[in-house]
Structure 1
Amino acid sequence: MFSVYLLEDNDNQRKYYKEIVDNTIMINDYSIKVVEASNTKSFYDSFSKEQFGLFFLDMEMDGDVKAGLKVAEFVRHNMPDARIVFVTTHEELAFLTLERKISPLDYVLKDNDSKEIKEKIIKDIELTEQYYQDSIYEKEMTFGYKIGSKYFSVPMKELILLYTEKESPGRVHLESDNREMSFPGNLNSLENKYSNLLRVDKSSLVNVDRINSYDIHKRTLYLDNDVQCDVSIRKSSAVSKLFK
């Protein structure tokens, strides 16, 4: 899920934009949260630092024609992958968005008729939703880790097992088809990030696509490449469900 922010100081316009967003969410059954703000202060108060979001920003607020630009710079700094749309009458300020490296997704001109505004807002939501789904898919297809200042990745289809040992706290051991590696990490964060990784005990995560069989009596999980893994009593039922 991601959030759509509506920053607009005109109550009627903000209500109209929200109606468009709400209807688009309902029709397409999107998992999107809508956040409204009538001024920059309420925007900053409601802003949540997440991985991703779509922002419809009024360019001029409280007599400041660059208020939306300042907000956009804040968003880009705190959420580098955000999608930003300016809703404005100041088309001439488009150059400044390039100069400040804001990279907006779109401009919605308030001078256009309501039908065109509606179509642009709907299209921007649809494009953002598609990008969001594609980015999730891409992240789940590749497992990434960092050693020092360098980043590494393993195709998820090659990953078999991740585990920790008491002798090396704060480090995660990786086993895959082509490599074994140890890197600084935390199993809890990796479990939350990758949906196809299953916790089978307090110190092990397995790639569910690399499971071959499970001995429920021994509580032993058999993975590809002759890799074996113990399963805790608490996790045994979750593992058993994979074979039903």
Structure 2
Amino acid sequence: MMYPIIICEDDSTQLAGIKKLISDYLLFHEKLFKIELAATAPDEVTTYLDTTQPKNGIYFLDIDLKADIDGIRLAQIIRQHDVQAKIIFVTTHDELAPLTLKKKVAAIDFIEKDQSLEDFRQEIFDALAYSKQLTDETLTVQKQNFSFTVGSQVYNLDKSEVVLVETSDVPHHLEVYTVDGVYDFYGKLSEIEEKHNFLFKISRSCLINPQNIHQVDFSTREIEFINGTKQKFSIGKSRKLKALLQKTL
């Protein structure tokens, strides 16, 4: 996974210095991070957010941006677009740290500009490493869960609750069968398969959770699940399914 980095600092000299330090770090982590934007004005960042819709970005922000939008307000806007954003303030105004708590921007670090170059560099490097760690841990947890949206309602299920996911008769919709019911939601089966590695594809239109299999009849190629639902699987999946069941059991 590539982590996008966005920098906003109104002083062009300081912006270049921060970008240089991050670029030095990227020499050894070029496959993990990419500087997507280095901006001197907050409206450059808001435009980027509107047009790109980034996810899991790492944002280095000055607080006093000499603009109508300061760094704290910009962080709030970022949080609305990129929920899992990792926000790091690089500033001389460390006394404003309590305000970031009040505004609920959830910054992960405050890096003071007024320190030695070596210490400043190390704090930048540490912030990048910590940002990656937090994102990796979040994604690991998310992969153990199954989330989907029905109207304005967001459902977040433990993977043990998911029985199977199949295409719906409604175009671009899927149906998820759980231990308690069936839900129809907008989505693509290919994206669900890529995101959730606990699901196994038994046909072009169906993904199953092997943990919720009750029994399998290989002569009829039919699976019965713990909730009573039954599904056919393609003949080409027989060998993989047998191996998966042996591994599960």
Q: TM-score range by the shorter chain?
A: 0.7 to 0.9
Per the alignment, residue 3 of structure 1 pairs with 4
For the residue of structure 1 that corresponds to 2:169, the secondary structure is coil
What is the CA-CA distance between 1:240 and the residue it aligns to? Answer: 5.9
Equivalent-residue separation in structure 2 for 1:33 and 1:198 (angstroms): 33
Per the alignment, residue 193 of structure 1 pairs with 195
Per the alignment, residue 125 of structure 1 pairs with 128
The answer as to whether partners of 1:210 and 1:223 remain within 8 angstroms in 2 is no
Per the alignment, residue 57 of structure 1 pairs with 61
The answer as to whether partners of 2:176 and 2:184 remain within 8 angstroms in 1 is yes
- The CA deviation string for residues 130-158 of structure 1, in whole angstroms up to 9 with x for no partner, is 11111111111112334565544443255
Equivalent-residue separation in structure 1 for 2:170 and 2:56 (angstroms): 37
State the aligned residue count.
Answer: 236
Equivalent-residue separation in structure 2 for 1:100 and 1:139 (angstroms): 26
Please give the TM-score of this superposition, normalised by the length of structure 1.
0.74
> Structure 1 residues 69 and 169 mapped into 2: Cα distance closer, same or farther (>3 Å)?
closer
What is the CA-CA distance between 1:97 and the residue it aligns to? Answer: 2.1
Q: How does 1:18-29 map to 2 (within 5 A)?
A: 18-28=19-29
The answer as to whether partners of 2:163 and 2:176 remain within 8 angstroms in 1 is no
| Residue 115 in structure 1 maps to residue 143 in structure 2 | no
Where structure 2 has 5 or more consecutive residues not aligned to the other structure, the ranges are 245-249
Per the alignment, residue 45 of structure 1 pairs with 47
| Residue 90 in structure 1 maps to residue 93 in structure 2 | yes
- The CA deviation string for residues 190-242 of structure 1, in whole angstroms up to 9 with x for no partner, is 33532443555442123477799997x99x5758769543339xxx59x9699
Equivalent-residue separation in structure 2 for 1:243 and 1:170 (angstroms): 30
Per the alignment, residue 247 of structure 2 pairs with none
For the residue of structure 1 that corresponds to 2:23, the secondary structure is helix
Equivalent-residue separation in structure 1 for 2:164 and 2:222 (angstroms): 11
Q: How does 1:41-190 map to 2 (within 5 A)?
A: 41-47=43-49, 48-61=52-65, 63-64=66-67, 67-147=70-150, 150-157=153-160, 159-166=162-169, 170-175=173-178, 178-188=179-189, 189-190=191-192
For the residue of structure 1 that corresponds to 2:28, the secondary structure is helix
> Structure 1 residues 213 and 128 mapped into 2: Cα distance closer, same or farther (>3 Å)?
farther
Equivalent-residue separation in structure 2 for 1:26 and 1:78 (angstroms): 29
Equivalent-residue separation in structure 1 for 2:223 and 2:116 (angstroms): 62
What is the CA-CA distance between 1:74 and the residue it aligns to? Answer: 1.5
Counterpart amino acid of residue 104 in structure 2: K
The answer as to whether partners of 2:223 and 2:233 remain within 8 angstroms in 1 is no
Equivalent-residue separation in structure 2 for 1:214 and 1:133 (angstroms): 39
More divergent stretch after superposition (31-40 vs 102-111): 31-40
The answer as to whether partners of 1:162 and 1:173 remain within 8 angstroms in 2 is yes
Equivalent-residue separation in structure 1 for 2:133 and 2:217 (angstroms): 37
- The CA deviation string for residues 72-129 of structure 1, in whole angstroms up to 9 with x for no partner, is 2221222232121111122233343233222221111111111111111111111111
For the residue of structure 1 that corresponds to 2:22, the secondary structure is helix
Equivalent-residue separation in structure 2 for 1:12 and 1:241 (angstroms): 59
Per the alignment, residue 35 of structure 2 pairs with 34
Q: What RMSD over aligned residues (CA atoms) do the two structures have, in Å?
A: 3.8
For the residue of structure 2 that corresponds to 1:27, the secondary structure is coil
Equivalent-residue separation in structure 1 for 2:18 and 2:210 (angstroms): 42
Counterpart amino acid of residue 75 in structure 1: I
For the residue of structure 2 that corresponds to 1:143, the secondary structure is strand
The answer as to whether partners of 2:19 and 2:38 remain within 8 angstroms in 1 is no
Where structure 1 has 5 or more consecutive residues not aligned to the other structure, the ranges are none
Q: Percent identity?
A: 20
Counterpart amino acid of residue 32 in structure 2: S
